[in-house]
A and B are shown apart, each in its own frame.
Chain A
Amino acid sequence: MPSLPQLLRSRLAARQGLAGDHPDADRLAAFAAQSLPAQERTSLLKHLAECPTCREILSLTLETEPRASVSDLHVPATSHIAWWKWRWAAATAVACVAAIAFWPQKVPQTALPSPPSRPSVPMQIDHLQPQAAQPEIRRTVKKSPAPKPVAPLPERTQIPLEEPEVVVAKPAAAPLAIIVQPSAPDDRLAEALPKPANGFLPDQSKSVASQAMLDRPRLPLSNLFAKRKQIANETKSLWTLNPDLQKSEDGGQTWRTVQVPANVTLYALSTSGSSVWIGGADGALFHSIDDGLHWKPVKIPNLAGAIISIDARDENWIKLKTKSGDQWQSTDGGVHWYRQ
């Protein structure tokens, strides 16, 4: 039986091309600028839902638009009212931030002397490499009467994945604050974080911990690092083009070259689970469903030129780009392809 996404693709594709006359550039431009009246917008959306050509035109129009923030694009007329409704929430948030900021000042100031090189600057933030940051922190701990706050740090140094950027904020004669920014959030990592009930995804871009906050059991940093380590161990194979196709089965420590059944120059690689796609010069495209053990050449009629990019979102959905700018897509694991 087909999965729901496959079923939707199949039935949505059957509805394409049923739309009537195409809208003129004026209506499409007004739609892109979010300035169509509601009724006309609904009517245009009905057409767009069934017309891939107009969706492509709309997409190209917006791609070339000078980037503006979403708030710039869609500011409701009653935005000041919305702001007014949130004023108490904003005030409470500011009060909470202020409370957190002042809490660590109870720690004796002698524990954290300011760096002699920057005595005149009241607050400076340095971006340091993790290796450079650690001795600074350890030195501080020796002088500190309360060594607890730095307890998670040795655990952080054992993480084999990409090192998070560590920013050490050093206020003059003020408490130490550590900001840990995971550089590449992992989707599986997201599962380790608490999920809100309203469906919003957790913000993985940064988590902030002051010295006092590090003691709090609620902070998921140690869990987070343990999860990263577990994910690293679970990862079976890594792939790269260097420029030969290479594979690592020990988390990147050793790499071996994988032979492809034809002598072609490869430019693109994408993996999804045990499914591996590689593409290269003269439209060469190969697919392996067993993590690179066996390869099958894939022929796409009318595809010309080098394949420079492959994006395999899952085992069925694959999109590739050629050097000439053409984009081809398959939604059934590479059985059928269509040009976008």
Chain B
Amino acid sequence: MLEDVVRRSLSSDRIPRESTQFLDSLHVDELLLARACARGDEAAWEQFLGFYREKLYRAATAIARSESIGRELADSVYADLYGTRLREDGSRISKLDSYMGRGSLEGWLRTVLAQDYVNRFRSERRSVSFVESIDTRPHESAISETAELTHATDAALAALSSEERFLLAAYYLDGRTLAEIGRMLGAHESTVSRRLEKITASLRKQIIKKLCESGIARREAEQMLDVDVRELNMNVREGLTQERRSESI
């Protein structure tokens, strides 16, 4: 079973030496339970239901923000976990078979619920998908963006690390709070706040530098980014204060 997990997770046919750490990090007990359930072991199912049934319903209700849709979502995931289709040998195809034990089984179940909710329930109610709904046409404010500015910004964004781009996308596009981003990255919100300030300040410098390289005078380049970086700092600070207020309420 572990060889199967290593093969599927690390794309390797045998257990390499360096994968010892990987094997140590696996949630083996929960992996065994999931695999036993996937095989159709009734005792394992009984244990699984006793342990995770209520948690699954609670998580589904919290994700869907509606008890009825939550029930429907949880039932649908249960059907996938149990397996409604059969292989050629007559055994059920269970979604639990894809659990690799890299995180807790409970966390994996929450992720499966969230995936199912986003892919199925939301798409039913949407006329357009999220990606399509992001209007990439030039906005009113963006009309005045020059080609140099767009090019400089794209180049500066491309030079950032993937974590920094993730942080910017979560904050500026998704409107996530600092606390939410902190939970995603496993960092404190004050750390996220400082990093945001640092990244935006650095981006500003890089964009101005690239504009100057393209032949634009420094003063003009600075005017193109007509916001002072201290305003950005204030925005981050305001966000942090608002979160504290809402937490205190």
Instruction: Using A2-B141, A10-B145, A26-B98 as known contacts, say yes or no to A33 and B174 having CB atoms under 8 A apart.
Output: no
Q: Tell me whether A234 is interfacial, beta carbon within 8 Å.
A: no
Q: Tell me whether A155 is interfacial, beta carbon within 8 Å.
A: no
Q: Which residues on the A side are within 8 Å of B248 (C-beta)?
A: 183-184
Do the beta carbons of A12 and B173 come within 8 Å of each other?
Answer: yes
Q: How far is the CB of B144 from chain A (nearest CB, A)?
A: 6
Q: Tell me whether A215 is interfacial, beta carbon within 8 Å.
A: no
Q: Tell me whether B225 is interfacial, beta carbon within 8 Å.
A: yes
Interface residues of B in 34-92 (CB under 8 A from A): 58-59, 62-66
Q: Tell me whether B214 is interfacial, beta carbon within 8 Å.
A: no
Q: How far is the CB of B19 from chain A (nearest CB, A)?
A: 10
Instruction: Using A62-B183, A62-B184, A70-B186 as known contacts, say yes or no to A13 and B174 having CB atoms under 8 A apart.
Output: no
Q: A-B pairs with CB below 8 Å: how many? A: 264
Do the beta carbons of B153 and A8 come within 8 Å of each other?
Answer: yes
* A8 CB contact (under 8 Å) in B63, B110, B187, B203: B203
* A45 CB contact (under 8 Å) in B111, B135, B139, B166: B166
Segment with Cβ contacts to B, from A113-121, A172-180, A242-250, A313-321: A313-321
Do the beta carbons of B244 and A9 come within 8 Å of each other?
Answer: no
* B237 CB contact (under 8 Å) in A9, A16, A70, A187: A187
- Complex CA gap A233/B190 in Å reads 31
The chain B residue with its CB closest to the CB of A321 is B65
- Complex CA gap A35/B154 in Å reads 31
For B66, B98, B112, the residue with the greatest tally of chain A CB atoms inside 10 Å of its CB is: B112
The chain A residue with its CB closest to the CB of B131 is A17
Instruction: Using A13-B134, A186-B241, A302-B127 as known contacts, say yes or no to A201 and B142 having CB atoms under 8 A apart.
Output: no
Do the beta carbons of A29 and B110 come within 8 Å of each other?
Answer: yes
- Complex CA gap A324/B138 in Å reads 30
* A70 CB contact (under 8 Å) in B113, B133, B182: B182
Q: Residues 143-180 of chain B: 1 if any A CB is under 8 Å from the residue's CB, otherwise 0? A: 01100011001100100011101101110111110001
Q: Tell me whether A27 is interfacial, beta carbon within 8 Å.
A: yes
Instruction: Using A4-B204, A11-B157 as known contacts, say yes or no to A49 and B166 having CB atoms under 8 A apart.
Output: yes
Q: How far is the CB of B164 from chain A (nearest CB, A)?
A: 8
B-to-A contact residues, CB < 8 Å = 9, 21-22, 25, 58-59, 62-66, 98-100, 102-104, 107-108, 110-115, 117-118, 125-128, 130-131, 133-136, 138-142, 144-145, 149-150, 153-154, 157, 161-163, 165-166, 168-170, 172-176, 180, 182-184, 186-188, 190, 193-194, 197, 200, 203-204, 207, 223-227, 229, 231-232, 234-235, 237-242, 244-245, 248
A-to-B contact residues, CB < 8 Å = 1-17, 24-30, 32-37, 42-43, 45-46, 48-50, 52-53, 55-65, 70, 73-74, 183-187, 190, 199-201, 204-205, 302, 313-314, 316-317, 319, 324-326, 329, 331-332, 335-336, 338-340
Q: Lowest 6 CB-CB distances: which A-B pairs, in order? A: A60-B114, A46-B162, A49-B165, A29-B103, A30-B102, A3-B227
